[in-house]
Copies of this chain bind each other. A is one copy, B any other.
């Protein structure tokens, strides 16, 4: 049984590569999908395809059309969603992806540092499992295969 895992969350460090490597070390039969992790490409994708937009708002709007399209395709193909929150940035996309996954009955794991317990308490409460590290998230998934 192969499972596809959507990795929602910030795109400012290489936690996804880390997750993939650690899954490979454990021989977990997982394939990972994710949002665009090249931040500039993600911000510019609308203008890259549709050309210069009149304002920043409109540049953002066409970019988000295409980012949301990508997320919808990939999340529909996924069996599990992991959403990682860090201490920086607004990360409303991460909250959006996790909430959407939960509403669609996708089994969902949240990773967040101890410092974010309070502001994430309602979302954590709706997710299946909340952990603090990528390793713990992989242990949770690994438990499926025991």
Does A3 make an interface contact (CB < 8 A)?
yes
Q: Which of A45, A104, A131, A140 has the most CB of B within 10 A?
A: A140
Question: In angstroms, how far is the closest chain B Cβ from the Cβ of A40?
Answer: 12
Q: A36–B72 Cα gap in the complex (Å)?
A: 28
A34-65: contact bitstring with B at CB < 8 Å (1 yes, 0 no)?
00101001000100111000111110110111
B103 pairs with A69, CB closer than 8 A: no
Number of interface residues of A (CB under 8 A): 71
Query: Smallest CB-CB separation from A56: which chain B residue?
Result: B117
B73 pairs with A123, CB closer than 8 A: no
A77-99: contact bitstring with B at CB < 8 Å (1 yes, 0 no)?
10110000000011111011011
Contacts of A66 in B (CB 8 A): 128-129, 140, 143
